[in-house]
Amino acid sequence: MRVASMMNPRAAVVMFSILALAALAPLPAATPALPLIDVDAYDLPGDRGDAIALSWPAQERDQEQAQYVVSIAASADGPTTEVLRFNATSRFESDEPKYFGFGTPIEARHFVIVEAVEKDGEPAETFCKVVLYEGEGPEAVEVAASPIVSAVPEPNWFAAHKTNNLILALLTSGFILFFIQRATKNPDIFIRKLAGLEAIDEAVGRATEMGKPILYLTGYHDIDRVSTMASVNILAHVARKVAEFDSRLVVPNKWSITMTVCQEVVKEAYTNAGRPDAYNPNEIYFIAGEQFSYTAAVDGVMVREKPAANFFLGTFAAEALILAETGASTGAIQISGTDSTFQIPFFVVACDYCLIGEELYAASAYLSREPKLLGSLKGQDAGKFLVMAALLIGTVLVTINQLLPAESLTLMWIKHFFTAF
Amino acid sequence: VTFWKRQLPGILVFVVGILLVVQYYIPHPWSSEVLGESNRWVRIIQNAALLLGVASLVGNHYRKIARKQAGFGYSYIALFFFLAMVVFGFATGISAPREIRETVTIPAGIATGGGEVPTDVDVESGFALSLMPALGKPLPNVTLRGKVDGGQTVALSDDTPVQLDATGKLILVVPPNTSGEPVTVGLFLKEDQSIGYWMFDTFKVSMEASMYSLLAFFISSAAFRAFRARSIDATIMLIAAIIMMIGRVSFGEMISRIFSKSWLFFPKACEWMLNVPVTAAKRAIFIGIALSVIALSIRIIFGLERSYLGRGE
């Protein structure tokens, strides 16, 4: 900064112009006297076709004070643009398990990904040159350079690095579908009791006796979230109970689409219970679209109408405790369920019953007692067994691995099978 | 009716569900376009559905007022501010005021002898202009003035923003100076905030912040209720909470000396609890949730779970 501030502006302009001209100059051919860097340029696998990969063996002169500069151009003799500059002791293939895996021995090769140049708005053949410099700033000296190499980026139809994810997803889905199929033949399935769901009747009955409404919230997110859908599924069962008990259900919503879906679900539940006349669409309404406006408005409803039972089911954020504590202060029986781990402790403390994580998603199957749905819970359990087995075996293998002189590649492979990219 | 209400939604859910699952494994640009397009549709539907929300909100408050239900006075306030926000929001906009920062260097010749320096800074009506020091440079000790072609010159300062009376490129008018050095100054242009934005910033943002801050008090009341050693579970939680609280406060290290030779007994215990039992429990919950989401998705995609379509069980 001090040097820059002391520099004459005219000199700075001249220097900048020289540097700009140098950057626009055609790619110089590799100086024969310099050692050659043997760079491979190829299409980056498993991408959308807008990048190429460069790799080259580590050089003898790689050291802390050296740096690689990668430049690209649209043609072999076109103007170059510097796109990457990094320390010569960094960026190796071993840093990219996404492409090179964990298990295979990796030769000490540098690896970089470069965005392809565009021609007519489409990624096109990209020409690259890699130069190794020693020293810093103006004293940097070019000590090795690559010839000009090129690659054409191609879009891919499968992200190979997600293969482990696909296998696990297929395996889990297979378990679930198998148990669903099995449940149709043998519908007698044991599911442990979930106190929160068993208490729904108690809560609705209490509200009916007290002549007070039941408040139901579907959470912070819109219907495109699975947790909200799980909540709406439970709402169908709660609404049916409310209709049977001839009580009153209030559903303030944060999202318009969720409101419409809830109206439809509650209407259908009332019809199924033989009480279509008791359905009032005005009780399922949009209250506010912002987080704390919604919280304040729902708190207002709780304080004014004093519901006898509050249901908080879905994903909740910072508003969870404000809602649950306000509900507790009005003396309502409270049943909550959420998949947000940060809010679970708050709900456990402030509510009478709390569905933790997966229990929220299992609730509709539990309440309906439909064999096919219960079968999916059994499938989930099989998936859990798989994960537990993997954890156990993995722990044993990793422990054994620590005792061995060198790390076994097979064990490495197993250890990293569950790594997500 | 059966087709529209039962079969078509089921077919749509199946096709879109499978398509989006497959899309996750395909990096091809077509696949990204499918995802982008479906997200666009979601946004369009969400925004169109907002009208339903507005109708519901207005109708709900109107009914409360008409029936004089408990707390109907609040409905007047809600409707008044709803209408005010809509009117002023549409009339004046609700975007945050734009801010433009530019640096201008006055050449040594003009800085010494005085004169006019044309700049690339566009001055628009509604923008107030002030000076600010450029990075590492003090403001010049002379009064710079600014104008736009055909307009009046106005004195610029770093503490009172001024508006120019015309629209166009800013011209700096520099008085003679004896220093002989080029001068670099920063220019700061800030748009006047609209009434819509002012309402948003003044009422909504501050009220939401107040609501959020209530959380601190609710945490205290919830903690008071939770930390009563009524059972073994509650007692374990109480002990864990005490260790956690002491480990997180500044005198935790001091208190550590009472129980241990190490100053870091409580902070370390606190760290261990977070890293080992809490993380283990959280991961168990996450694994359970992930499997449940897969199971629920399969139930929905294959039409086994239809409660959300309004069909009960």
B63:A282 CB<8 A? yes
- Chain A contact for B8, CB < 8 A? no
Structure token pair of residue B129? 């202009």
Structure token pair of residue A320? 């969870």
Facing B295 at nearest CB: one of A265, A324, A379: A379
**pLDDT for residue A282 is more than 60:** yes
The whole-number pLDDT of residue A70 equals 95
Closest CA to A90 of A73, A70, A117: A70
Residues 207-266 of A with CB under 8 A from B: 222-224, 226, 229-230, 232-233, 236-237, 240, 253, 255-257, 259-261, 264-265
Name B204's Cβ contacts closer than 8 Å, sequence gap at least 6.
A290, A293
Structure token pair of residue A284? 């399922």
A358:B288 CB<8 A? yes
Structure token pair of residue A366? 């539990």
The whole-number pLDDT of residue B137 equals 77
Please compute the mean of the pLDDT values over residues B143-165 and round it to a whole number. 85
- Chain B contact for A399, CB < 8 A? no
- With beta carbons less than 8 A apart as the criterion, state whether B294 and A176 touch: yes
Torsion angles phi and psi, residue A59, rounded to 5: -95, 155
Please compute the mean of the pLDDT values over residues A124-147 and round it to a whole number. 90
The whole-number pLDDT of residue B237 equals 85
- With beta carbons less than 8 A apart as the criterion, state whether A216 and A252 touch: no
- Chain B contact for A373, CB < 8 A? yes
The whole-number pLDDT of residue A107 equals 61
Closest CA to A253 of A227, A276, A278, A232: A232
- Chain B contact for A370, CB < 8 A? yes
**pLDDT for residue A16 is more than 60:** no
- Chain A contact for B4, CB < 8 A? no
Structure token pair of residue A29? 């051919």
Mean pLDDT check: name the lowest of A109-118, A399-408, B53-62: A399-408
Torsion angles phi and psi, residue A285, rounded to 5: -135, 165
What burial letters (b/e) apply to B301-310, b meaning 16+ CB within 10 Å?
bbbbbbbbbb
Residue B298 to residue A377: CA distance in whole angstroms: 11
Residue A70 to residue A129: CA distance in whole angstroms: 6
Over pLDDT 70: what percentage of chain B? 97
- With beta carbons less than 8 A apart as the criterion, state whether B23 and B38 touch: no
Positive or negative CA dihedral for A90, A92, A95, A99?
positive
B308:A267 CB<8 A? no
Whole-number CA gyration radius for chain A: 32
**pLDDT for residue A349 is more than 60:** yes
Taking contacts as CB-CB distances below 8 angstroms, the residues of chain A near B29 are 48-49, 155
The whole-number pLDDT of residue A4 equals 39
The whole-number pLDDT of residue A116 equals 95
Residue A375 to residue B295: CA distance in whole angstroms: 10
What burial letters (b/e) apply to B218-245, b meaning 16+ CB within 10 Å?
beeebeeebbeeeeeeeeebbebeebbe
Which of the four pLDDT bands, split at 50, 70 and 90, describes residue A118? very high
Distances (CA, A) of A418 to A164, A391, B22: 7, 10, 20
The listed range with the strongest mean pLDDT (A98-102, A164-168, A307-311, B146-150) is A307-311
Which of the four pLDDT bands, split at 50, 70 and 90, describes residue A402? confident
Per-residue pLDDT of A24-72, as tens digits, reads: 444 444 445 678 899 999 999 999 999 999 999 998 888 888 999 999 9
Q: A349 to chain B: nearest residue by CA?
A: B226
Top residue of A292, A347, A418 to mutate, by most chain B CBs within 10 Å, is A292
Give residue A165's identity as a one-letter amino acid code.
N
Residue A217 to residue A230: CA distance in whole angstroms: 12
A358:B54 CB<8 A? no
The whole-number pLDDT of residue B184 equals 85
Per-residue pLDDT of B246-301, as tens digits, reads: 888 878 777 777 777 776 788 888 999 999 999 999 999 999 999 999 999 999 99
Min CA distance, B145 vs chain A (Å)?
Answer: 24
- With beta carbons less than 8 A apart as the criterion, state whether B119 and B170 touch: yes
Residue A307 to residue A331: CA distance in whole angstroms: 9
- Render B114-138 in DSSP notation, one character per residue: -EEEEEEEEE-TTEEEEEEEPTT-P
**pLDDT for residue B56 is more than 60:** yes
Min CA distance, A307 vs chain B (Å)?
Answer: 14
Residue B226 to residue B47: CA distance in whole angstroms: 42
- What three-state secondary structure class fits A186? coil
Q: B308 to chain A: nearest residue by CA?
A: A233
Name A372's Cβ contacts closer than 8 Å, sequence gap at least 6.
A180, A183, A184, B299, B304
pTM for the model stands at 0.80
Closest CA to A61 of A173, A164, A140: A140
**pLDDT for residue A327 is more than 50:** yes
CB pairs under 8 A between A and B: 218
Min CA distance, B98 vs chain A (Å)?
Answer: 24
Residues 117-176 of A with CB under 8 A from B: 155-159, 162, 165-166, 169, 172-173, 176
Taking contacts as CB-CB distances below 8 angstroms, the residues of chain B near A318 are 212, 215
State the pairing for strand pair A214-217/A249-253: parallel
Facing A257 at nearest CB: one of B49, B59, B70: B49
DSSP H helical ranges for A283-370: 291-305, 319-329, 344-350, 358-368
- What three-state secondary structure class fits B223? helix
Residues 1-60 of A with CB under 8 A from B: 1, 5, 9, 46-49
Torsion angles phi and psi, residue A127, rounded to 5: -100, 135
Q: What is the ipTM of this complex?
A: 0.81
Residues 251-310 of B with CB under 8 A from A: 282, 285-289, 291-300, 304-305, 307-310
A358:B297 CB<8 A? no
- Render A12-55 in DSSP notation, one character per residue: HHHHHHHHHHHHHSBPPPPPTTSPBP--EEEEPTTS-SSEEEEE
Q: Which residue has the higher pLDDT, A245 or B184?
A: A245
Taking contacts as CB-CB distances below 8 angstroms, the residues of chain A near B298 are 173, 176-177, 180, 376
Top residue of B32, B206, B313 to mutate, by most chain A CBs within 10 Å, is B313
- What three-state secondary structure class fits A225? coil
- With beta carbons less than 8 A apart as the criterion, state whether A94 and A106 touch: yes
Torsion angles phi and psi, residue B293, rounded to 5: -65, -40
Torsion angles phi and psi, residue A384, rounded to 5: -65, -40
Contacts 24+ apart (CB under 8 A), A348-352: A348/B226, A349/A324, A349/B222, A349/B223, A349/B225, A349/B226, A350/A321, A350/A324, A350/A325, A350/B222, A350/B225, A351/A310, A351/A312, A351/A324, A351/A327, A352/A199
DSSP H helical ranges for B106-263: 108-113, 195-199, 206-226, 232-248, 252-259
- With beta carbons less than 8 A apart as the criterion, state whether A220 and A319 touch: yes
**pLDDT for residue A19 is more than 60:** no
The H-or-E segment that residue A69 falls in is strand A66-73
